[in-house]
Structure 1
């Protein structure tokens, strides 16, 4: 992606992101978008849940900006951009806040930098899925739709998380029993 294409590519990716989210989420997602930016920092947080809490706390303090202002900020660091990822941070009735997470070339290990220093940045759009909606790969059931705002928490998310953990533990107990029974019969 060239620097002059940055605004158009982000606009196209935003549209694709909203289309993807509309297909897999039950929310009505507004196409009136504002943006926040975050550098991908792999050093904060020991695990996914801790990292998500810290990122949410930081992002809640950011003032959303228009696409023009975000593109201007990205243009200043364009030469050092390695990867740009778009996520829906928050979807409200009348606006959607898109989080642009970027990874810098200089954030890679020193040995890898010479191989990527002249590469143009990559652009991706992603929708985070909660663990409790993921079906097995062989399942014929349609995937359950979920709340696009699940990462922000809330009662519905906590309930679904509880039910998901309960289903997992039930499955694990049944699996362990079957495994013990097979081992016992093979001996």
Structure 2
């Protein structure tokens, strides 16, 4: 992606992101978008849940900006951009806040930096999916739709998380019994 294409590429990617989310989420997602930016820092938090909590806390303090304002901010660091990831941070009835997570070339290791120094930034759209909607591998069940705002928490998310963990434990007990029976019959 070239610097001159930045605004159009982000606009197209935002539209694609909303289309993706509309297909897999039950929410009505507004196309009236505002943006926030976050640097991807691999050193923060050891696991997904720690990073998510910290990211939510940090993002709540940010003031969303228009596309023009966010493009101006990205243009300032364009030469050092390695990767841009668009995520829906929060979907409200009248607006959607898109988080642009960026990874800098200088955040890579010293050994890897020379191989990417002249690369143009990559752009991706991603919709985070909660673990509790995933069906078993090779399942022909249609995956159920979920709340696009699940990462922000809430009672529905906590309930679905509880049910998901319960289903997993039941599956694990059945699986362990099956393996134990198989080993008993073989031995």
TM-score bin, normalised by smaller chain? over 0.9
Deviations along 1:62-109, one digit per CA (max 9) or x if unpaired, are 000000000000000000000000000000000000000000000000
Shift of 1:166: 0.2
Residue matched to 1:92: 92
The 5 A counterparts of 1:34-45 are: 34-45=34-45
Residue matched to 2:8: 8
RMSD between aligned alpha carbons? 0.5
Deviations along 1:9-64, one digit per CA (max 9) or x if unpaired, are 00000000000000000000000000000000111111110110000000000000
Gaps of 5+ in 2: none
Q: Does 2:169 align with 1:176?
A: no
Residue matched to 1:64: 64
> Could you tell me the TM-score, scaled by structure 1's length?
0.99
Aligned-partner Cα distance in 2 for 1:49–1:150: 13
Report the 3-state secondary structure (helix = DSSP H, G, I; strand = E; otherwise coil) of the residue aligned with 1:90.
Answer: strand
Aligned-partner Cα distance in 1 for 2:165–2:70: 39
Q: How many residues matched?
A: 187
The 5 A counterparts of 1:105-184 are: 105-184=105-184
Aligned-partner Cα distance in 1 for 2:71–2:164: 39
> Could you tell me the TM-score, scaled by structure 2's length?
0.99
Shift of 1:141: 1.1
Residue matched to 1:22: 22
